[in-house]
């Protein structure tokens, strides 16, 4: 990628996952980036090259562009060098289901009166937040401060790639210099651009996540019906996905979606609709289906093992998806608690998420490999589709287990290979071997 020299310096407020990837991505495009965070320890670590999150390619990018990335706890550094200040602070859910915007409002309050600066909102916020912030600026005598909504669509685990090769860039603004400047910033990526008003841009973000979550809950319900009827959801998804209008992505049935975004954003959109007087019926079901899906493994285990009291259950993977150590809303949290409530003993292995998991999960015995998890286990449950689990020597696994049940919570393993090793394989929405019709040749 070429590194133009005439790129304008920018500020990024918040060096969490979104902020850091955005900063490193723009540094790769040639921008100097002033990264600001109130967490002194984090900034000190970043100055010394310590990356606080595990994200493929991020550490390399930060290292390569150390000369362009400036880390500070002082907002004045960003205000001095940059006119565009990206906001990438957390907006976690509250008990009411609304997003907690206190960090966003602290940033807004810290801005000085200025005619040459703009806030560019990356944090996921409810529709109407931009309008509120503009009103606050006016009330505080800072009406010259511009505002742009520029939602992010990064996926954890492939965030660097998603930044550099986006499906689209969405920019919501008032048609002023700030919007033009953000368009210019993204121009080298040559992605389709949706330039629109601020509220529509805010809604694109929430609606996209809610739609993807709906797609997952839909295929999970199809999987549950497949289990009742003998169809195979993997085949069904393949047949559906070839329809251009449906598409093959996000049709993998499993034990539910997790992460820092889908559960939060679906709830936030439902809540936003409710606050505006509209009952978003579909989203209630999307959330409920997902909660039930996380528990479906229990019935499968009980069917195979009888009572779970005293049984040794091994979890393969804990993170909410592979290539991340993020444990937020991970299905493993619900599953490990349910298993222990049913009297089972739980052991688990995750290639990178153990440290995060230890903070959230109690009573689980952490192992250092999948083979250790299998040793003496009555059943294994694949929770996260880490590639290394597909490479397991299932004959060795079968020999070391006390029982022979393998529940594949992500339909990720090669079912025949697992069965050939003498194990009783069961996926999600897939018929058991005995019920399957003989394979047909074309
Ligand atoms: C999601 C969106 O995909 C991003 O576009 C968005 O920017 C991000 O949220 C955000 O708002 O910040 P992410 O949470 O990183 O990204 O993870 P996904 O890859 O979307 O997966 C979410 C969950 O859905 C995972 O638990 C995954 O296992 C599950 N999933 C995904 C399925 O169960 N089935 C599928 O077919 C796909």
Q: CA 12 to CA 22: how far, in whole Å?
A: 8
pLDDT category at 5 given cuts 50, 70, 90 is low
Q: Which atom of ligand 1 is nearest to the CA of 205?
A: 11
Q: Are strands 365-366 and 345-349 parallel, antiparallel or unpaired?
A: parallel
Confidence check: pLDDT of 2 > 50: no
**Tokens encoding 21:** 């990837």
Q: Is 154 in the pocket of ligand 1 (CB under 6 A)?
A: yes
Q: Is 155 in the pocket of ligand 1 (CB under 6 A)?
A: yes
Compute how many other C-beta atoms are within 10 angstroms of the C-beta atom of residue 248: 12
The pLDDT tens digits of the residues spanning 262-289 come to 998 999 999 999 999 999 999 999 999 9
φ, ψ at 424 (rounded to 5°): -90, 100
The pLDDT tens digits of the residues spanning 302-348 come to 999 999 999 999 999 999 999 888 999 999 999 999 999 999 999 99
Q: CA 319 to CA 304: how far, in whole Å?
A: 25
Counting residues of the chain whose pLDDT is more than 90, the rounded percentage is 91
When the pLDDT of each residue in the chain is averaged and rounded to a whole number, the result is: 94
Q: Is 332 in the pocket of ligand 1 (CB under 6 A)?
A: no
The pLDDT tens digits of the residues spanning 138-168 come to 999 999 999 999 999 999 989 999 999 999 9
Mutation test residue for ligand 1: of 22, 58, 156, the one with most atoms within 8 Å of CB: 156
Distance 107 CA to ligand 1 centre (A): 28
10 Å CB burial of residue 185 (0-12, 13-18, 19+) is buried
pTM to 2 decimals?
Answer: 0.93
Kindly report each contact of residues 232-236 with a partner whose C-beta sits within 8 Å and lies 24 or more positions away, as own/partner.
232/429, 232/430, 232/431, 232/436, 233/411, 233/428, 233/429, 233/430, 234/411, 234/427, 234/429, 234/430, 236/429
Looking only at Cα atoms, what is the longest distance across the chain?
Answer: 74
Q: Is 329 left (phi over 0), alpha (psi -120 to 50) or beta?
A: left
The pLDDT tens digits of the residues spanning 11-44 come to 999 999 999 999 999 999 999 999 999 999 999 9
**Tokens encoding 345:** 């003993």
Is 261 designated active site? yes
Q: Which atom of ligand 1 is nearest to the CA of 216?
A: 34
Answer yes or no: are the C-beta atoms of 382 and 316 closer than 8 Å. yes
Looking at residue 243, its pLDDT comes to 98
Question: Residue 349 is inside which H or E element, if any?
Answer: strand 345-349
């Amino acid at each position: 990628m070429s590194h133009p020299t005439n790129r304008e310096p920018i500020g990024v407020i918040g060096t969490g996952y979104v902020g850091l990837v955005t900063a490193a991505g723009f540094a790769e495009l040639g921008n100097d980036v002033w990264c600001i965070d109130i967490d002194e320890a984090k900034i000190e670590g970043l100055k010394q090259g310590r990356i606080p999150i595990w994200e493929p390619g991020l550490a390399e990018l930060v290292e390569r562009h150390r000369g362009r990335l400036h880390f500070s706890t002082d907002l004045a550094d960003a205000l001095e060098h940059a006119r565009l200040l990206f906001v990438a602070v957390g907006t976690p859910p509250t008990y009411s289901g609304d997003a907690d915007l206190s960090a966003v409002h602290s940033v807004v309050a810290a801005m000085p009166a200025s005619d040459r600066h703009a806030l560019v909102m990356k944090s996921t916020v409810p529709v109407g937040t931009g309008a509120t912030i503009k009103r606050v600026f006016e009330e505080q005598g800072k009406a010259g401060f511009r505002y742009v909504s520029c939602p992010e669509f990064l996926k954890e685990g492939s965030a660097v790639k998603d930044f550099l090769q986006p499906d689209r860039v969405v920019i919501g603004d008032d048609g002023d210099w700030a919007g033009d400047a953000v368009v210019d910033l993204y121009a080298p990526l040559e992605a389709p651009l949706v330039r629109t008003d601020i509220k529509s841009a805010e809604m694109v973000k929430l609606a996209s996540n809610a739609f993807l979550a709906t797609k997952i809950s839909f295929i999970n319900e199809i999987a549950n019906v497949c289990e009742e009827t003998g169809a195979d959801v993997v085949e069904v998804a393949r047949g559906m996905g070839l329809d251009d209008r449906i598409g093959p992505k996000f049709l993998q049935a499993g034990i539910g979606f997790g992460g820092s975004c889908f559960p939060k954003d679906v709830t936030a959109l439902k809540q936003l609709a409710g606050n505006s007087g509209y009952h978003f019926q579909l989203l209630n079901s999307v959330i409920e289906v997902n909660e039930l899906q996380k528990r479906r493994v229990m019935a499968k285990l009980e069917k195979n093992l009888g009572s779970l009291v005293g049984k040794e259950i091994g979890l393969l993977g804990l993170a909410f998806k592979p290539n991340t150590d993020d444990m937020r809303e991970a299905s493993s949290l619900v599953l490990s608690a349910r298993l222990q409530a049913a009297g089972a003993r739980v052991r688990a292995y995750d290639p990178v998420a153990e440290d995060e998991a230890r903070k959230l999960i109690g009573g689980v015995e952490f192992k250092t490999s999948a083979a250790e998890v299998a040793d003496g286990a009555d059943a294994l449950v694949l929770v996260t589709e880490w590639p290394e689990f597909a490479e397991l020597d299932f004959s060795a696994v079968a020999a070391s287990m006390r029982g022979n049940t393998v529940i594949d919570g992500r339909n990720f393993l090669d079912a025949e290979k697992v069965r050939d090793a003498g194990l009783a394989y069961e996926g999600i929405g897939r018929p058991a071997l005995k019920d399957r019709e003989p394979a047909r040749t074309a």
